[in-house]
Structure 1
Amino acid sequence: MSPRRSYDQYCSAARALDTVGDRWTLLIVRELLAGPRRYTDLHADLPGVSTDVLASRLKDMERDGLTTRRRLPPPGAAYVYELTARGQELLPVLQALGKWGEAELGERRPTDAVRAHWFALPLLRGLEGEGLVEVRLDEGEFHLFVGADGGPVYGHGPAPGEPDARLVLDVDTCMAVAQGELSVLEAVRAGRVDVSGDGALAKALREAEDSVTA
């Protein structure tokens, strides 16, 4: 376990960066906002990180009270990492950072990796209310826990159970939302998102669409 480096400044921002300012730490938090994950899953969804650095960061995060590690019962019998309550408090930090970084995205570079679930946080920023939302892209499926208070805020694959809303859209629309060029409501109104479902979230999105076509 690497010794903690410090800015040695009596400032809360400096103290926060002492803990989460290392390269990869906040992106590991982004992945763990989906709930418990195995080391191999984290490594697969963090292209570019070495196995040594990932292992070191996870140990540091456990030491600093951001994550815990536990062994799944049989037949899984694998270790998973998950955020503590302290780690989950970084969600608004990541959302603010993502909002600030919209202007930095620009066009996707040939070297840029992409995963469908990386659009979960930008979409969450544009949805109001509470409920389970399933999102379908050609690149994959994920689901969002809109208005979640603690626990995972998104997950991989189809929704666990009947979602309140299903959104079908393409990656270009997700990129436009992530870049701040379109809000979720604007994308719905422009016909770039197909909305289905009987929950309050689906009804609110359809009403926004109908208010333009009426």
Structure 2
Amino acid sequence: MIRVLLADDEAMMRAGVRAILSSADDIETVAEAGDGHEAVELALKHRPDVCLLDIRMPRLDGLRAAEELRTLLPETAVVMLTTFSEDEYIASALGSGAAGFVLKSGDPRELVSGVRAVAEGGAYLSPTVARRVLTHFGTGQLGRRTAARTRIAELTAREQEVLALVGAGLANAEIARRLHVVEGTVKAYVSQILARLDVKNRVQAAILAYEAGLVGEE
């Protein structure tokens, strides 16, 4: 069972997200918070597998809460809940430790898919968010692609193959099945890739995979 903490300052939004999560028989909401500070406190108490954080919250916003959780509970994955009006926050959130980004107005199935993906060690960008992130990073696209390809050229062929699958949003277990190796081997590859590329998390690695052309836009 995937244990989730939900944090949003709007009670109606929390109720809607809770209802979506309850439709999945492998997900349970173990705690709810109305602000980022409370979210961190409850996360330390309940130690959930996944924290769903609204970006805009009082006392402590989702970005800073994600940063604290990355330090205090590195085994807990974070998914940010975003809206179209918050594009300017996405780039900052990439460095906050979040492993997923889901639009509040998106398909409810994306929320469930995102929670499952990050709980299994993967990264998840809802399709609309992915396109907007790629647009954001598209400024100077040729230069960025050249720089990205230069960076990934230091990886072995196998590491580039794993990076491409990380960029496609696959979790470690899915990558292991695809490559016919054990999951522990994939974890080792991912750790090596993050270290060699000097990126903080799988989402940043996924963006680099997009920029290098390892993964095509949908």
Q: TM-score, normalised by structure 1?
A: 0.31
* Between structures 1 and 2, the one with greater helix share: 2
Choose 1 or 2 for highest CA Rg.
Answer: 1
Q: What is the TM-score of this pair, normalised by structure 2?
A: 0.30
